[in-house]
């Protein structure tokens, strides 16, 4: 009798345990559903937005659109000067923000003493990442345009966007460096390497995947920036190209383009959207689609690169 | 120059003298340690976790200098030149050039097998291809890894097994012809067969250099070492011939630890 009772209670216990597990699993389900809902609504919003732009702008997806200057006649207007401008500005941004950002990240992680001064720099860098971009524009107007006399040029625009991108590069460099395990770092020091040798031969090489991801995400942000470039006085209507950076005669490189006036894709779009004629709105939609595609391509490249590099280095 | 010798007429290669060590938070991890390391011998450090044996080992290549706030007191003298390697005037990099280290977990660089072994030489400015090839081959042979990797020197080191990776790390430490090699529990992450390989390797290596090893495994200390030091709570309790320590220790605490009554 007693034995039977025991068996029964054990069975009951099992029942309770199963019910409890079922109850607890409801939380999993609820959270997964919520997450799914949020992600789905974000994705759908983006897709709808993108499709809307494509549907509006699809008549303009022709080679002419990419090869023509803006024009007073909507049908003939293109984005040649805008995409060339965007590219040249991004080149300047890249060559300024990447070396500075990596150097700053390496310095903060490897060289600086961990004291209150480092803390202040750390807080500042994080803050910079959150400052509204128009403030960078104002800073650039005062500093680059007026104080340094660089004018409303591609150089000024590149430097401005570089400021904007710098915190992203610094933060991603530091994150990537921190991901390198202590025992690898110690192994390098143990064979007698100096700090500089450790940085050059190990730290930078092992973290370049993370750094690259940060660089691309930063560039993707920079390509869509409008406010700071309007603030420094970018032109909205340009019917000429800056001098070519590459020449046929030696020295083959020409730096004249840095001083040229410019426009960029988002500004071109902004300009067209503020016209009353509907035909220009079609151009604007097409330009918007181009910007979104470029951004998506860059972010996709960042994800792909990160994936490939992670596969190669496993600690 | 006077060479110090012990009763067996063995040469002292290095010696810690009244060594105290403090971590940045102020805890004293080593208390007045006096311990010789004999030339061409294996000296094993045993003791329970947290007794300071790794801290002691890592003082020999100034690893603690990588982290701010750590403080040494006392001396570690390296013979025959009588250099106090803890002296602030002695650059830790110079010390690491003479004393190399093998870590607990195999830690090859994410580079090729060749580059792993060659790195110590590159750091020393060696760039002659022939010279590098020769020295890498010698080091890999010295670490009895050459036959297994000679056809794939330019493969990633991560593709090797755990035991092979650890022997690669030994080759890396060996390539620079150090005077002393430090081993920090080199087999604790390895399977028994890989462990035996490493132990045999160490017995081979001591013909060329002096070895200081930290081990959690008392049998390992008994198997491979010539001298054993028992540490407890940052102090050196006893140091003697390995035979003596394991058969007839002079201190009660050592006996309790050896026999498993404690620890």
Provide the residue ranges of all domains of chain B, joining segments of one domain with +.
Answer: 12-258
Q: Measured between CB atoms, does A201 come within 8 Å of chain B?
A: yes
* Out of B96, B109, B169, closest to residue A189 by CB: B96
Cβ–Cβ below 8 Å for A191 and B96: yes
How far apart CA A59 and CA A69 sit, in angstroms, is 17
- The answer to whether B231 touches B216, Cβ cutoff 8 Å, is no
Residue B235: Cβ within 10 Å count: 15
- From the list A113, A184, A192, the residue facing B120 with the nearest CB is A192
Query: A114-144 as b/e, with b when 16 or more CB fall inside 10 Å?
Result: eeeeeeeebeebeebeeeebeebbebbbeeb
User: With contacts defined as CB-CB under 8 Å, which chain A residues touch B176?
Assistant: 191-192
Torsion angle of the four alpha carbons B163, B167, B168, B169, in this order, in degrees rounded to the nearest 10:
100
CATH architecture classification, A62-312: Orthogonal Bundle (1.10)
d(CA B258, CA B244): 12
Mean pLDDT of chain B: 90
In the prediction, which pLDDT does B1 show? 43
Q: What is the pLDDT of residue A199?
A: 94
**Cβ pair B178, B98 in contact under 8 A:** yes
- Chain B positions touching A185 (Cβ under 8 A) are 66
**How far apart, in Å, are the Cα atoms of A31 and each of A18, A27, A108?**
20, 6, 38
- Answer yes or no: do B172 and A186 touch at CB < 8 A: no
pLDDT at position B231 over 90: yes
In this complex, do A183 and B107 lie within 8 Å of one another by their Cβ atoms? yes
Residues of B within 8 A of A181 (CB-CB) are: 107
Residue B12 to residue A284: CA distance in whole angstroms:
82
Inter-chain touch B103–A183, beta carbons under 8 Å? yes
Whether residue B103 and residue A202 make contact (CB cut-off 8 A), yes or no, is: no
Tens-digit pLDDT string for chain A (315 aa): 555 666 666 667 888 889 889 988 999 999 999 999 999 999 999 999 999 988 888 888 888 888 888 888 877 888 888 888 888 889 999 999 999 999 999 999 988 887 888 889 888 888 888 888 889 989 989 888 888 888 888 888 999 999 999 999 999 999 999 999 999 999 999 999 999 999 999 999 999 888 988 898 888 888 888 888 888 877 767 777 777 776 666 676 677 777 777 888 888 888 888 888 888 888 889 899 999 998 889 888 888 888 888 777 766
pTM to 2 decimals?
0.81
Instruction: State how far the Cα of A289 lies from the Cα of A308, in Å rounded to an integer.
Output: 28
Lowest mean pLDDT among A59-63, B20-24, B88-92, B233-237: A59-63
**Helices A80-106 and A204-223, interaxial angle, to 10°?**
140
A-B CB pairs within 8 A amount to 63
Structure tokens at A188: 């390098």
Residues B98, B128: Cα–Cα separation, whole Å: 21
- Domain definitions of chain A by residue range: 17-58, 62-312
In this prediction, the answer to ipTM > 0.85 reads yes
* B12-258 classified as CATH 3.40.50.300: yes
Can you tell me the mean pLDDT for B164-191?
Answer: 92
Selected for mutation to probe chain A from B93, B173, B174, B212 (highest A CB count within 10 Å) is B93
Token reading at A212: 């690259």
Three-state SS string over chain A comes to CHHHHHHHHHHHHHHHHHHHHHHHHHHHHHHHHHHHHHHHHHHHHHHHHHHHHHHHHHHHCCHHHHHCCCCCCHHHCCCHHHHHHHHHHHHHHHHHHHHHHHHHHHHHHHHCCCCHHHHHHHHHHHHHHHCCHHHHHHHHHHHHHHHCCCCCCHHHHHHHHHHHHHHHHHHHHHHHHHCCCHHHHHHHHHCCCCHHHHHHHHHHHHHHHHHHHHHHHHHHHHHCCCHHHHHCCCCCCCCCCCCCCECCCCCCECCHHHHCCCCCHHHHHHHHHCCCCHHHHHHHHHHHHHHHHHHHHHHHHHHHHHHHHHHHCCC
Which region among A149-153, B126-130, B210-214 has the lowest average model confidence (pLDDT)? Answer: A149-153
Residue B232: the pLDDT is: 92
Sheet holding B227-232, edge to edge: B99-102, B180-184, B210-214, B42-46, B227-232, B235-241
Residue owning tokens 């029942």: A15
Tokens of B193: 């067969």
Count other C-beta atoms under 10 Å from residue A150's C-beta. 19
CB < 8 Å to B62, chain A: none
Of A186, A191, A313, the CB nearest to B100: A191
pLDDT for residue B229 is more than 70: yes
- Rg for chain B, CA atoms, rounded: 18
User: H/E/C letters for each residue in B120-162?
Assistant: HHHHCCCCCHHHHHHHHHHHHHHCCCHHHHCCCCCCEHHHCCH
């Amino acid at each position: 009798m007693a034995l039977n009772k025991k068996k029964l209670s054990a069975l009951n216990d099992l029942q309770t345990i199963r019910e409890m597990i079922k109850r607890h699993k409801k939380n999993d389900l609820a959270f997964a559903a919520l997450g799914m809902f949020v992600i789905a609504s974000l994705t759908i919003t983006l897709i709808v937005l993108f499709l809307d732009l494509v549907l509006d702008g699809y008549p303009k997806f022709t080679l002419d659109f990419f090869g023509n200057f803006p024009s007073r006649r909507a049908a003939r207007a293109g984005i040649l000067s805008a995409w060339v401008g965007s590219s040249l500005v991004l080149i300047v941004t890249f060559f300024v923000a990447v070396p500075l950002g990596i150097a700053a990240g390496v310095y903060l992680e490897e060289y600086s003493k961990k004291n209150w001064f480092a803390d202040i720099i750390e807080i500042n860098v994080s803050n910079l990442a959150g400052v509204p971009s128009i403030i960078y524009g104002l800073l650039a107007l005062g500093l680059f345009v007026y104080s340094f006399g660089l004018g409303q040029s591609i150089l000024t625009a590149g430097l401005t966007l570089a400021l904007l991108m710098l915190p992203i590069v610094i933060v991603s460099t530091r994150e990537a460096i921190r991901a390198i395990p202590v025992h690898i770092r110690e192994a390098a020091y143990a064979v007698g390497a100096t700090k500089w040798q450790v940085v050059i031969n190990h730290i930078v090489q092992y973290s370049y995947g993370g750094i690259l991801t940060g660089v691309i995400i930063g560039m993707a942000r920079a390509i869509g920036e409008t406010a700071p470039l309007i603030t420094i006085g970018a032109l909205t209507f340009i019917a000429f190209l800056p001098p070519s950076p590459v020449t046929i005669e030696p020295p083959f490189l020409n730096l004249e383009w840095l001083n040229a006036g410019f426009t960029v894709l988002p500004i071109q779009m902004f300009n067209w959207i503020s016209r009353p004629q509907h035909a220009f709105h079609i151009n604007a939609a097409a330009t918007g689609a181009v910007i979104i595609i470029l951004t998506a391509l860059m972010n996709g490249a960042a994800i792909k690169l990160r994936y490939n590099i992670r596969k190669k280095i496993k600690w | 120059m006077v060479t110090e010798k012990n009763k067996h007429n063995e040469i002292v290669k290095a010696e810690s003298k009244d060594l105290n060590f403090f971590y940045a938070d102020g805890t004293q991890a080593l208390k007045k340690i006096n311990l010789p390391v004999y030339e061409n011998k294996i000296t094993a450090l045993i003791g329970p976790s947290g007794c300071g044996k790794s801290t002691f080992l890592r003082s020999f290549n100034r690893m603690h200098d990588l982290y701010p706030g750590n403080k040494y007191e006392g001396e570690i003298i390296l013979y025959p030149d009588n250099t106090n390697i803890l002296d602030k005037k002695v650059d830790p990099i110079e010390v690491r050039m003479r004393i190399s280290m093998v870590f607990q977990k195999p830690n090859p660089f994410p580079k090729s097998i060749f580059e792993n072994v060659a790195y110590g030489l590159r750091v020393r400015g060696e760039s002659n291809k022939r010279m590098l090839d020769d020295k890498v081959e010698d080091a890999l042979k010295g670490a009895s890894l050459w036959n297994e990797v000679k056809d794939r020197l330019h493969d990633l080191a991560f593709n090797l097994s755990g035991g092979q990776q650890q022997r690669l790390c030994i080759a890396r430490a060996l390539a620079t012809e150090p005077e002393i090699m430090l081993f920090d529990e080199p087999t604790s992450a390895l399977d028994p067969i890989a462990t035996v390989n490493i132990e045999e390797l160490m017995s081979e290596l001591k013909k060329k250099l002096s070895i200081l090893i930290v081990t959690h495994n008392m049998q390992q200390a008994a198997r491979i070492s010539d001298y054993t030091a028992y540490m407890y709570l940052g102090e050196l309790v006893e140091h003697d011939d390995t035979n003596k320590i394991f058969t007839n220790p002079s201190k009660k605490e050592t006996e309790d630890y050896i026999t498993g009554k404690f620890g």
